[in-house]
Structure 1
């Protein structure tokens, strides 16, 4: 199969022929119909993830058709249209038993722990607990974005941040995750403020429901109930905590490879909450898919660019100069 292969961190990868993945017991192999280009892939390419072993194929948000079914996988067959969370949970540990597959200690992540979806085929382990059947009316490009950015934002907004109608929500960083959070929070009835330095991203945020768009919150009194860092920046975290009202909630979605400094005195004195959010388990997808089917959420609108596998290496490298507005989908 053809795949994007990273040989050295920070060096533009190449598209070349590599062996197709074999189907293991309990797993399936998918023909990748669409996969998203995410900033997490950039972090992996830069060497920020200790799980990656070179050479490596990135890609972790995907949708496709089942090409092979391993022993012990029941209820699924070749040709089924599916997506999967980027966190492939084991399904047998205490966290999985409690429904918290997104923090499974035995999790495997395509594009990080093993070769991912910037390829024509990808393996999905623990398939029984990680596959999500796609509605026929949902196209593969839209479905691919659900596996990481949109699903991650859905859980961050609705289940971790617990955003309610009438609350003021500030979203920092309007890449794919941030724009998804804007759309989902607005659909929940919140007053959403979007913050980004990219005018094109702010324009999209306004289209997706933000009532106010800002290039910075320095000197701005927002009195927010909930803030989200959807990019991953120490500076943004400080801004996010400063605009919170007493007993406000901050949800951290963006990765912080260089760490972060917190004003713990303010955190304590104002009884602020610092919350982490990491993906969403497969069993929680039906609620989100129902919202999409009812027209309350429109993840297809987030897609602003579709590229080929051959265009992917340059697009991945270009993330070093900033995240383009909207979501980029790759069709292998």
Structure 2
């Protein structure tokens, strides 16, 4: 099969012909019809994930068709349209049996612990636990865009952030994660403030549900601006970028008993950011992480998509070919453009 391969961290990936994968006894092989371009893949290429073994094929936001299933797989067969969470649970550990597959003690991750979806085919383990059936009407590009950023934002807003109608929600960073969070929080009835460095992204954020915007490149004190707009601070706030400044601001802009959810990855030199712990204690703030979403929780999200409350197709940005993926991956060291880039031509 054709795949994007890098043999050294930080050096240009190339298109290579590599062996087709075979399904594990409890796994499947999926013909990839679409795969998203995510900043997490850039972190992996840079060597920020110590679980990657070289040579490596990145890619973890995928949608496609099952072409082969292992002998232990009972729920899936060739020809079915599927997607999968990026954190693949084993189904047997304590966290999985308690329903928390997203933090499985033995999780695998396509594109990180094993070869991923920047390829014509990808192997997925523990298929009966992790695969998600796609609605017939959903395009593969839309389904791939759900795989990491949208579902992580859904869990961050709905399950971790516990957003309720009428609350103020601040979203720091309007890339794929942030725009997904804005759409979801708005659909939940919240008043959303979008915060970014560019007017172009902020204008788009307004179109998908933000009721207020802050351009951080023109606003000397983002925390003060959020508190003025909300008359005291956000009830829930998210760092959707993953930077010491946005993480700090997201915590500091909360009102008393507010909830911060960290979604943007904090790796490398950013792994230990400054935290306003005085405010955490005095205001009884909550600091939460959000790491993907369980396969069984997709149903609630799919219902909101089916009834039109969520429109993830609006967040799909540039569509490119696999041949263009190496250059696009390397370029993700900068800030994302509007929407989620997706590889759709193999």
TM-score by length of structure 2 reads 0.94
- Secondary structure class of the residue paired with 2:323: coil
- In the other structure, the counterpart of 2:243 is 233
Matches within 5 A, 1:120-269: 120-216=120-216, 217-220=222-225, 221=227, 222=230, 223-257=233-267, 258-259=270-271, 260-269=273-282
- How far apart in 2 are the matches of 1:316 and 1:58? 9
- In the other structure, the counterpart of 1:36 is 36
List alignment gaps of at least 5 residues for structure 2. Answer: 217-221
- How far apart in 1 are the matches of 2:165 and 2:193? 14
Query: Cα offset for 1:266?
Result: 1.3
- How far apart in 2 are the matches of 1:71 and 1:146? 29
Maintained 8 Å contact 2:89/2:130:
yes
Maintained 8 Å contact 1:204/1:326:
no
Maintained 8 Å contact 1:253/1:277:
yes
Q: How many residues were matched structurally?
A: 332
RMSD across aligned C-alpha pairs, in angstroms?
Answer: 0.9
Residue by residue over 1:226-253, the C-alpha shift from the partner in whole angstroms, topping out at 9 and shown as x without a partner, is: 1000110111111112211111100000
- How far apart in 2 are the matches of 1:306 and 1:32? 14
Query: Cα offset for 1:323?
Result: 1.2
- In the other structure, the counterpart of 1:286 is 299
Residue by residue over 1:33-77, the C-alpha shift from the partner in whole angstroms, topping out at 9 and shown as x without a partner, is: 000000100111111101111110000010000010111101211
List alignment gaps of at least 5 residues for structure 1. Answer: none
Of 330, 334, 338, which residue of structure 2 is paired with 1:321? 334
Maintained 8 Å contact 1:201/1:326:
no
- How far apart in 2 are the matches of 1:302 and 1:160? 22
**1:110 and 2:120 aligned:** no
Maintained 8 Å contact 2:251/2:260:
yes
- How far apart in 1 are the matches of 2:46 and 2:335? 14
**Following TM superposition, where does structure 1 have runs of at least 4 consecutive aligned residues deviating by more than 6 angstroms?**
none
Which piece of structure 1 moves more, 212-221 or 281-290? 212-221
- Secondary structure class of the residue paired with 2:333: helix
TM-score by length of structure 1 reads 0.98
